[in-house]
């Protein structure tokens, strides 16, 4: 449990809360038993609820997992009174609030706003790796790396989809925070809460830009793959067409019939081989001039 105080406002941050932490919060802030129970474990959806002396809010933050190459959902719960903001996170991602310090905030509203701004900056950092990968793929297109790019795009699409699910879960809760937060803090809270919504919309817009770029690059890469396959099929078709007549001729000469020409002639084998080779070369030159392969 990390506690910071500044003037008339206090921030309490709890990572991986224990039963002892929950019992202390329940007693200190007179929490409803249902809320205390909900704080004991992660929740399945975002939520906001106002009580007589505090506001309860559940939010989610995307955190990139390097091992699985995808974004994971991290829950942050808030218990807010007029002069205190309590944050609880259930996963040990301490970098979310790394270097966060109180600085002149005079109310829980200002502190809440600063925390949400800090979370927005963290979400932008989580998006940075996605943008960097998209830009890297853009430079690799048209360099005969279609199979490698296909794999990278597949992982990127999953990461972008997981990130989108997480931030979309956050949006209804933030809209509810705007209406209910004004009841809790008063009309002066509107500008702060609207800014929080605006910051969230900016994150969503950045994500959609990445998703569009990924989709565009995927279409381009698929077209390049199809073109490569078509060229290969065209070459194989031409080769089959070139070799088939001479294979037929060779089969005919292999028939052990009495009237088969050149079979009993001196040098007959080499005459047949040279004629077939000359035919293959002639057809090859013709197809090459026609740009058929």
Residue that finishes a domain, picked among 227, 260, 276: 227
CB 80 within 8 A of CB 108: yes
CB 52 within 8 A of CB 95: no
Alpha helices in the chain (DSSP H): 19-28, 33-39, 108-140, 146-185, 190-253, 268-289
Residue that finishes a domain, picked among 227, 245, 271: 227
Q: How many degrees, rounded to 5, is the angle at CA 288 between CA 282 and CA 293?
A: 125
- Closest C-alpha among 23, 17, 46 to residue 36: 23
CA distances from 221 to 116, 126, 141, 143, 151 (A): 38, 25, 7, 11, 11
Predicted structure pTM score: 0.75
- pLDDT score of 92: 72
Task: Give the range of the structural domain holding residue 54, as residue numbers without chain letter.
Answer: 2-227
- Closest C-alpha among 159, 167, 162, 165 to residue 66: 159
Q: Looking at the structure, do residues 281 and 137 belong to the same domain, yes or no?
A: no
Identify the sign of the CA torsion 278, 282, 283, 284.
Answer: positive
Count of structural domains within the chain = 2
Q: Looking at the structure, do residues 109 and 35 belong to the same domain, yes or no?
A: yes
The two beta strands, 9-15 and 84-89, are: parallel
- pLDDT score of 244: 67
Q: Looking at the structure, do residues 158 and 283 belong to the same domain, yes or no?
A: no
Q: What is the CATH number of the domain that holds 23?
A: 3.30.460.20
Residue that finishes a domain, picked among 227, 246, 270: 227
Q: Looking at the structure, do residues 198 and 55 belong to the same domain, yes or no?
A: yes
Segments of the chain with pLDDT less than 50: none
CA distances from 253 to 49, 125, 250, 260 (A): 91, 73, 5, 7
Q: What is the CATH number of the domain that holds 265?
A: 1.20.58
Q: Looking at the structure, do residues 184 and 247 belong to the same domain, yes or no?
A: no
Q: Looking at the structure, do residues 202 and 244 belong to the same domain, yes or no?
A: no
Q: Looking at the structure, do residues 126 and 201 belong to the same domain, yes or no?
A: yes
- pLDDT score of 171: 84
Q: Looking at the structure, do residues 217 and 119 belong to the same domain, yes or no?
A: yes
Q: Looking at the structure, do residues 8 and 89 belong to the same domain, yes or no?
A: yes
- pLDDT score of 209: 92
Q: Two tokens at 100?
A: 């966060």
Q: 85: buried, middle or exposed (CB in 10 Å: 19+, 13-18, 0-12)?
A: buried
Q: Looking at the structure, do residues 170 and 205 belong to the same domain, yes or no?
A: yes
DSSP conformation class of 267? T
Q: Looking at the structure, do residues 8 and 133 belong to the same domain, yes or no?
A: yes
Residue 2, φ and ψ in degrees, nearest 5: -110, 125
Q: Looking at the structure, do residues 272 and 147 belong to the same domain, yes or no?
A: no
- The phi-psi region of residue 144 (left if phi > 0; otherwise alpha if psi is between -120 and 50; otherwise beta) is left
């Amino acid at each position: 449990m990390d506690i910071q105080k500044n003037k008339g406002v206090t921030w309490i941050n709890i990572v991986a809360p224990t039963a002892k932490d929950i019992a202390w919060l329940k007693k200190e802030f007179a929490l409803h038993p249902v809320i205390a129970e909900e704080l004991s474990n992660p929740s399945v959806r975002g939520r906001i609820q106002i009580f007589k002396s505090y506001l309860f809010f559940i939010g989610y933050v995307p955190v990139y997992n390097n091992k699985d190459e995808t974004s994971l959902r991290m829950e942050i719960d808030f218990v807010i009174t007029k002069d205190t903001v309590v944050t609880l996170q259930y996963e040990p991602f301490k970098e979310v609030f790394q270097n966060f310090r109180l600085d002149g905030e005079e109310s829980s509203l200002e502190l809440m706003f600063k925390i949400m701004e800090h979370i927005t900056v963290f979400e932008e950092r989580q998006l940075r790796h996605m943008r960097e990968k998209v830009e890297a793929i853009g430079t690799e297109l048209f360099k005969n790396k279609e199979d490698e790019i296909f794999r990278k795009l597949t992982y990127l699409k999953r990461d972008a989809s997981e990130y989108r699910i997480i931030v979309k879960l956050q949006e209804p809760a933030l809209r509810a925070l705007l209406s209910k937060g004004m009841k809790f803090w008063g009309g002066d809270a509107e500008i702060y809460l609207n800014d929080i919504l605006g910051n969230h919309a900016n994150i969503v817009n950045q994500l959609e830009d990445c998703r569009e770029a990924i989709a565009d690059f995927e279409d381009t890469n698929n077209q390049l793959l199809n073109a490569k396959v078509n060229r290969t099929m065209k070459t194989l078709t031409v080769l089959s067409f070139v070799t088939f007549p001479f294979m037929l001729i060779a089969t005919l000469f292999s028939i052990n019939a009495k009237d088969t020409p050149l079979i009993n002639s001196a040098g007959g084998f080499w005459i047949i081989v040279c004629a077939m080779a000359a035919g293959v070369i002639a057809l090859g030159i013709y197809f090459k001039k026609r740009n058929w392969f």
